[in-house]
Amino acid sequence: MSNSLRDQLLKQGLVSKDQVQKAEADKRKHRKQAKKKQPQAAQQMTEAERTRKLAAKRQAEKIARDRQLNLKREQERQAQARKAQLKELIESNQVAREPGEVSYNFTHGKRIKRLYLSANQHKQLVAGKLAITCFKGTYYLVAPEVAERLRKADESLFLHRNPPPSEADDDPYADYPVPDDLMW
């Protein structure tokens, strides 16, 4: 009873031995091809997976670049807004320079700069009641409070301010006035 279909067909004479051998050979051939195709299919799957992973990696890199670019743009926007605020602060609180013939020398970086001011403004600068600040290559006279705010906001804007004279100075010669006709 356990005769296979092949044996039954051979007994009845419906197929020849050559046909059975050919069928078995074809069957073996198909099995070998199926085994060879399985690694190719697996390889194709791994290539598809690699492609997906590569696409996902590229997408993640693009998102990271976009975030960095947006962060940089936002920082630039904030810096511009900050500069605009500082410019507004300087321009709204500047003391108009009165043209004069008295020069006031101060340092800007490693260079000595000179401003020509009126005698009154010169005295105020010397006394520490005015300060000098520079914004985009232009020098402005501002109140000391404004200069302090500028120094806190951006050190590069603040240039020069004389310290106010202290009342604690014990000048031993304060009681002795300098004669007007003294020549050096």
- What is the tens place of the pLDDT at every residue in 25-40? 888 888 877 777 666 6
Residue 166: strand, helix, or coil:
coil
Which pairs with CB-CB distance under 8 Å and at least 24 residues apart come from 115-121?
115/139, 117/141, 121/95, 121/97
**Average pLDDT along the chain, 184 residues, taken 10 residues at a time:** 71 84 87 71 73 92 95 93 84 80 84 86 84 84 84 75 66 78 71
| Per-residue pLDDT, 168 | 53
- The pTM of the full predicted model, rounded to 2 decimals, is 0.51
Q: Residues near 73 by Cβ (< 8 Å), separated by ≥ 6?
A: none
| Per-residue pLDDT, 63 | 95
Residue 130: strand, helix, or coil:
coil
- Torsional class of 83: left (φ above 0), alpha (ψ -120 to 50), beta (otherwise): alpha
| Per-residue pLDDT, 159 | 73
Token pair recorded at residue 59: 């997408």
Cα–Cα distance, 97 to 103 (Å, whole number): 12
| Per-residue pLDDT, 4 | 79
Q: What's the distance, Cα to Cα, between the start and end of the chain in Å? A: 143
Instruction: Name the residue ranges covered by the structural domains of the chain.
Output: 92-160
| Per-residue pLDDT, 67 | 95
Q: Could you count the other beta carbons within 10 Å of the beta carbon of residue 86?
A: 17
CB–CB of 130/120 below 8 Å? Answer: no
Q: How many residues does the chain have?
A: 184
Q: What angle do CA 59, 61, 67 make, to 5 degrees?
A: 105
| Per-residue pLDDT, 102 | 85
| Per-residue pLDDT, 76 | 94
Query: What residue spans of 16-143 are helical by DSSP H?
Result: 17-93, 119-127
| Per-residue pLDDT, 1 | 41
